[in-house]
Amino acid sequence: MGGAVYLLKLRRYPALLLLYGAGVGAIAAGNFSTLGAVLTKPKVGNGSSTSGPICLEVFPSAVMETEIGRLLPGLDRHHTPVSDHLFERLREPLRPFLPRDEDYQGAFDRFEYFLGLIHADLTRYETEHGWWGPVGCFGWRGRRYSQESSVSNKISAEMEASGSDWGPLKAGLFGGSIEQAMIAKQKFDGFLAMAEWR
């Protein structure tokens, strides 16, 4: 069965596509209650008798490993081929809601950052440089932008400006605690800073 593990993982591809579509839509609408519900309410089994929030089990590298993703047409040299595939796959279905390409990219990157951040906060899986979380195309894209325009820094500015009134906290994410959100962000950003792009 070992050789077919990647095929078993691919059974979750429809769930991944739906998760991304709903998540990007929630971000575009500024609806953090929906975002929180999409990422944390559905429960998914992990092969044992336990189940956890979908964001812990359904994300690009959990559904399709990077090397398998590079077998997709035109993605053989991409850093995040599965994320890039989803970005292209969802563009047309979401065009009526996000007509401008830059707005779509911004919403997509923002969703992926929240997916990684919330995953990191829930698992608190410690690496040498911070808490691990899935990294999508926002990770390498952000390295081409100025510090001020990166999705991470935009979210930092929102957190500082809103404090305990920040939308994700009011939606129940991060235990409703700005302190917890800031720690999770610091830890996730530490991990992101050391991500290697091959």
The answer to whether residue 2 scores a pLDDT higher than 70 is no
Task: Identify the burial level of 123 via C-beta atoms within 10 angstroms of its C-beta, where 0-12 means exposed, 13-18 middle and 19 or more buried.
Answer: middle
DSSP assignment string, 114-183 = HHHHHHHHHH--B-SSSB-----HHHHHGGGS-GGGSHHHHHHHHHHHHGGG-HHHHTTGGGG-HHHHHH
Number of domains forming the structure of the chain: 1
Q: What is the pLDDT of residue 198?
A: 38
Task: Give the pLDDT confidence score for residue 195 in this predicted structure.
Answer: 76
**74 pLDDT above the threshold of 90:** no
Residue 37: pLDDT over 60: yes
Q: Is the pLDDT of residue 166 over 50?
A: yes
- pLDDT, residue 47, reads 65
Cβ proximity of 159 and 189 under 8 Å: no
| pLDDT over 70 (residue 116) | yes
Is 62 inside any structural domain? Answer: yes
In a domain, 91, yes or no: yes
Q: Is residue 126 part of a domain?
A: yes
Decide if 121 is inside a domain: yes
Residue 198 lies in a domain: no
Answer whether residue 113 is part of any domain.
yes
What pTM value is reported for the model?
A: 0.91
The Cα–Cα gap between 35 and 115 comes to 9
What is the pLDDT confidence band of residue 142, given thresholds at 50, 70 and 90? low
Give the pLDDT score at 102: 95
Q: Which domain holds residue 18?
A: 2-193
What distance in Å separates the CA atoms of residue 121 and residue 170, rounded to the nearest whole number?
Answer: 16
Q: State residue 76's pLDDT score.
A: 87
